Amino acid sequence: MNPQVLDPNAYLEGLVRNALGELLGEEAAVLPVSLDRPRQPEHGDLGLPCFPYAKALKTNPAQAASMLAERIRPDTLVSEVRPTGPFLNFRFHPKALAENVVRGILEEKEPYGPWASNGLSVVIDFSSPNIAKPFHLGHLRSTVIGAALRRLYRFTGHEVHGINHLGDWGSQFGKIIVAWREWGDEKALQKDPMRHLFDIYVRYQREEKERPELKEQAAEAFRRLESGEENEERAIWKKLRDISLQAFQGPYKRLRVEFDHMTGESFYEDKMEAVIQELEKAGITTVSEGALVVEFPEQKIPPCILRKSDGTTIYATRDLAALFYRRETYHFDKALYVVGSEQKLHFRQLALVLEKLGWPQAKNVQHVDFGLILFFNQEKGRWEKGKTRSGNAIFLDEVLDEAVAGVKKIIEEKNPDLPDKEAIAEAVGVSAIIFNDLKNGRIKDVKFDWNEMLSFEGETGPYVQYAGARLSSILRKAGSSVPAMTQSIASEGGIDFELLSDATPVLLTMMEFGPTLKRALEKNEPSILTNLMIRIASEIHSFLRDHRVLGEDPDLTRARLALVAAGRKILETGLEILGVTSPERM
């Protein structure tokens, strides 16, 4: 019977915490335990910086490391505990490391498989495109970052509510209604709805400068839309909303993005007044130049406008109504807004309003901001953002099509007989765009470089996908599979994990999966996981370069096939969290 599978990281953290408890008692509970790979592999498999413990122990970091080392003894998993200056370094028994990591992955034990429920509820507001406008490249980052966070939180045991807070209300709809009245064409709408709506919106922006009366017409149209009456303006709004929602399903399906709730700003139309009344009752509102606002004199930032002087609301009012609704409906512990960095002031204002109300959740309403997507403007010779108003938005479906076409060309050159070429090109091309976005720290701007993004070498989606396809190929040639190897390990005789003593580097990298997910959660940063996937793929390629799997001694081949299956499984799991496919063939 196989012994219980251990998570080496969690096991070692437990040993350290026990030792700290012996030294410091209850004080140890608040101290961090940050295990990481030493920069120099000869120092050990994992290292613990002891700087945080020196002050508590009233000594220096090197002595703190020695004091901990005296209380942690080698055992069946840990072969060596050695203080090296201010660090405490650990080494695992290679056989025990291999068995616990390979079995942990294949048997989907935590942290490699879905984590047990932690009882915490998280609301994630992401994507949120504007109705009657095209789904363009500017929507990509919120969509793929938010979708990755939704999967990450769910995988790690949270109850997750992923919400598409559609931009289907507000003063811009007055403009769209006027544009439709002036230049709308039913045939053009049916043929290509989003491009037609885009064209008439751009035309409105252009002609408003020459015809000031359009602006007043738009303001009046929005006032009538917000009146609550079933009038012409509402009929136009409903029609364009329904058409837009249908059109958005195409990009979402291709990006493999799902939502738990799709409630746009209009959903809160009948909920805003109650929120305004509650804010007034709390005594935190004032009237400024005819508008109802919440002011922040201590922070010296502009006030949050709840109702404009003409009686209409703005998106801040709707966001507050949404927060009230989500608190009552989902009882969230944390609410994330995956919205560009340009909106920092808006979310700072929201948080301050909640603080004034005394909400305990206020500190956990977080703005998950990100940088821009830039494209190269050939005429101007520079990278810049596409803007809907100036008419140069880059439609997302065109970008996806171009990526897929680029992958098709590579397949025709390198593997023209590949089965299901169309489906694989779609999977690899779309995933390349997602991966390119998520490998960058979210606050950084992302440049679209087609040659780099679609390369099968370097830090790219196709490179990581190819590592998984390569492992699948090895399993196929062996007449095996991930489920078959999982069963083989559980069978009598199983695997001789001693034969994987030379696989320690790749095993240690795979073992980083759990700590990586924790760091990604702490920072709401998918790039931390993306970069681990790159490193795992690199370690796998390196191992396969130096070690044959097939054609060796049967016991050695079986052991290495188990490692191959674990590598395939963890790549597939990590890529799935990111929203990237993991093809069996490439």
Q: Which residues are catalytic?
A: 133, 136, 139
DSSP-assigned letter for residue 261: B
Whole-angstrom distance, CA of residue 175 vs CA of residue 449 = 35
Helices (H), 256-362: 272-281, 315-330, 344-357
Instruction: Please enumerate in sequence order all residues whose Cβ is within 8 A of that of 285, keeping only pairs 6 or more positions apart, or say none.
Output: 276, 279, 292, 293, 294, 306
Edge-to-edge strand order for the sheet containing 291-296? 286-288, 291-296, 301-307
* Assigned token pair, 240: 């364009």
Nearest to 467 by CA among 579, 578, 574: 574
CA dihedral of 116, 120, 123, 126, whole degrees rounded to 10: -40
**Region of 440 on the Ramachandran plot (φ > 0 left; ψ -120 to 50 alpha; else beta):** beta
Nearest to 424 by CA among 582, 253, 249: 582
State the CB neighbour count (10 A cutoff) for residue 542: 12
Q: Diameter of the chain by CA atoms?
A: 84
283, amino acid identity: G
3-state secondary structure 27-72: HHHHCCCCCECCCCHHHCCEEEECHHHHHHHCCCHHHHHHHHHCCC
- Whether residue 135 contacts residue 396, with contact meaning beta carbons closer than 8 Å, is answered with yes
Distances in Å between the alpha carbon of 306 and those of 270, 385, 410? 15, 30, 54
The residue behind tokens 């191959």 is: 564
313, amino acid identity: T
Q: How many helices (H) and strands (E) does the chain have?
A: 22, 13
Q: Helix 172-183 to helix 213-225 angle, to the nearest 10 degrees?
A: 110
Instruction: Please enumerate in sequence order all residues whose Cβ is within 8 A of that of 383, keeping only pairs 6 or more positions apart, or say none.
Output: 374, 375, 376, 377, 445, 447
3-state SS assignment for residue 77: coil
Whole-angstrom distance, CA of residue 347 vs CA of residue 359 = 15
Q: Tell me the residue length of the chain.
A: 586
Q: Which helix (H) or strand (E) element contains residue 397?
A: helix 396-414
Nearest to 407 by CA among 465, 473, 472: 465
- Whether residue 431 contacts residue 403, with contact meaning beta carbons closer than 8 Å, is answered with no
Nearest to 572 by CA among 24, 108, 243, 80: 108
